[in-house]
Amino acid sequence: MVGNTIRGLINSGHQVSLFSLNPQKQKGNHSHTTDELINQINYYCHNIDTSISLKHAFMSLFNSKLYTVDRYYNAEFERLLIKEVQSGNYDIIQFEGLFVTPYLPAISKVTKAKLIYRAHHIEYLVWERLAKQKNDPVKKLYLRMIAKRIKQYELKQFELFNAIAVFTNQDKQTIQQHSGAAVPVEILPVGLDLMRYQPDYRKTEFPSLFFLGAMDWMPNREGIEWFLDHFAAELTDGDLRARFYVAGNDIPERFDDYEVVGKIYIHGEVDDALEFVNTKAIMIVPLLSGGGMRVKIVEGMAMQKCIISTSLGAEGINYQQGENIIIANTPQEFYRAIKRCITDENYCKRIGLNARKLVEEQHDTHKITERLVTFYQHTLSASY
């Protein structure tokens, strides 16, 4: 997502710097698609340990700290960031997501650049939705407490920026509901460089199902657990017999218990995500919580995949049910959708072709970049 934004800005003649945090638990997380940009930008990556400490998480319940966000703060990175901002002549400084906002106070003191926040989703809503999924009263109470604290913090952050960019109208409405018209909010959907997304159906295994996503994000992890708990038996020995591939970084070891030789594959991180997607037929997105626009769905559409997703998973995408995506929100709906897809290859191809057309019309990075640059220009000319 960030890479596509950078590509669009560079191709439009803009100079870009990227300062990023690399969680040490994510080894080798820079794909070749990102590495190709490094020589074209001013790039710095700082290793940071964001692994969860149960002790610190527990202690944060009894103080004012927000451990969920605070564990992304690193004093050395802040020092280097300040030095870069002071030496650079930046017009726009964009913060990608809530977890880098701990650096906002320091940055705002040393620059006159306009500060923009890009909300990948509304974080507190993710936690509220996670709480609703829990039956255990203790876990439900804990998640509600975290959601309340994040909400208080997140709403304050919205007011500290010159402008906010979001992916979906739902997120825009949520922000404006709390902050009114004080801060401009612009909807800028996920943009893709479609030259990089070249599907080749000759390489596609049909029928096959797959999931691709970061498993350190709780909604992904819980969604796949829900799906496997409901359908593992059907996929291996029932009426939905098709190979199911699960790929993504930080897959917990307990997921190995779901693996069935020749039927259910738990891959972990793959070297080439697009090639992995290209070789599979039907994309499963069983999100039960979360928010924002799922980049992986847009990428799957660009690769002409037939996608079965919950309504929440497809949030913000201007889809047509049964035309360019299949929406399923219950086990029964997922069953019927999978059953049809694995037995009707032409149906899957038609859904995939229509999905690609949607991406070409609404998610081409060249069109999105033009809108982004216009948004920057309006922000720079504003008096706030």
Task: List residues bridging with 23 in a β-sheet.
Answer: 48
pLDDT in tens, 235-290: 999 999 999 999 998 899 999 999 999 999 999 899 999 999 999 999 999 999 87
From CA 350, how far away is CA 353, in angstroms rounded?
5
Confidence grade of residue 33 (pLDDT, cut at 50, 70, 90) = very low
User: Of the given ranges (180-194, 198-212, 257-271), which has the lowest mean pLDDT?
Assistant: 180-194
- The label of the residue with tokens 């708990």 reads 229
Count of Cβ atoms closer than 10 Å to residue 383 Cβ: 3
For CATH 3.40.50.2000, the residue range(s) in the chain are 2-191+365-381, 195-362
Return d(Cα 258, Cα 276) in angstroms, integer.
Answer: 20
Q: What architecture (CATH level 2) is domain 195-362?
A: 3-Layer(aba) Sandwich (3.40)
Is the pLDDT at 28 greater than 60, yes or no? no
> Mapping DSSP to helix (H, G, I), strand (E, B) and coil, where does residue 301 land?
helix
What is residue 250's predicted lDDT score, i.e. its pLDDT?
87
First to last CA, the chain: 28
Q: What is the DSSP letter of 53?
A: P
| Cα separation, 272 vs 200, whole angstroms | 15
Other Cβ atoms less than 10 A from the Cβ of 326: the count is: 25
Angle between helices 345-362 and 331-343 (to 10 degrees): 110
The answer to whether the beta carbons of residues 232 and 264 sit under 8 Å apart is: yes
What confidence tier does 39 reach under pLDDT thresholds 50, 70, 90? confident
Q: Average pLDDT in the 355-359 region?
A: 98
For the domain bounded by 2-191+365-381, which CATH number is listed?
Answer: 3.40.50.2000
SS3 79: helix
CB contact set of 192 (below 8 Å; sequence gap of 6+) = 4, 298, 299, 302, 359, 363, 364, 365
Cα 221 to Cα 111: distance, rounded to the nearest angstrom? 39
| pLDDT given at position 2 | 86
- The pTM of this model reads 0.86
What pLDDT does residue 341 have? 98
119: left (phi over 0), alpha (psi -120 to 50) or beta: beta
Helices (H) and strands (E) in the chain, counts: 15, 12
The angle at the Cα of 293, spanning 26 to 287, to the nearest 5 degrees, equals 75
